[in-house]
Amino acid sequence: MKNTESAENYLETILILSQKLPVVRSIDVATELGFKKSSVSVAMKHLRENGHIVVSSAGYITLTEAGREIADMIYERHNFLSSWLISLGVDEKIALEDACRIEHVISKESFAAIKRNVGGFQTNS
């Protein structure tokens, strides 16, 4: 199954929030992304149906193994690409925005090649 950029962004956001908060709820995702709770609820339904998240009876969102794998991949790409662009002299705001776009379209092969050839570049994550 091909993941959409939107689904990947939601999964990455759930991952980031789970590192900051004791539990993640739809309202937390909505607040973080600046979206309406109703929009997030629809997205959570799709993520749940696709096996990427589990939602407890209390409304707590947890990534499944499949969801975590996608979230980790996107988060790694985001951190690496944004840090690399900043190190190249790109303004931080632009680097973060560009990394957010690139992280969804770059192939695994191209990302691995960039990581191999950047010459020991380390991210701040």
The owner of tokens 């990534």 is: 63
User: Are 25 and 60 in the same domain?
Assistant: yes
Are 15 and 75 contacting, i.e. CB atoms less than 8 angstroms apart? yes
User: Are 77 and 27 in the same domain?
Assistant: no
User: Are 59 and 92 in the same domain?
Assistant: no
Q: Give the predicted TM-score (pTM) of the model.
A: 0.86
Question: How confident is the model over 22-32, as pLDDT tens digits?
Answer: 999 999 999 99
How many structural domains does the chain have? 2
User: Are 82 and 104 in the same domain?
Assistant: yes
Tell me whether residue 123 is in a domain.
no
User: Are 80 and 55 in the same domain?
Assistant: no
The H-or-E segment that residue 9 falls in is: helix 5-20
Tell me whether residue 17 is in a domain.
yes
Tell me whether residue 78 is in a domain.
yes
Tell me whether residue 104 is in a domain.
yes
Tell me whether residue 46 is in a domain.
yes
User: Alpha helices of 21-64 — where are they, by DSSP H?
Assistant: 26-33, 37-49
User: Are 42 and 81 in the same domain?
Assistant: no
Structural domain for 58, as ranges: 5-64
Locate 91 and state its tokens: 């303004």
Question: How confident is the model over 54-100, as pLDDT tens digits?
Answer: 999 999 999 999 999 999 999 999 999 999 999 999 999 999 999 99
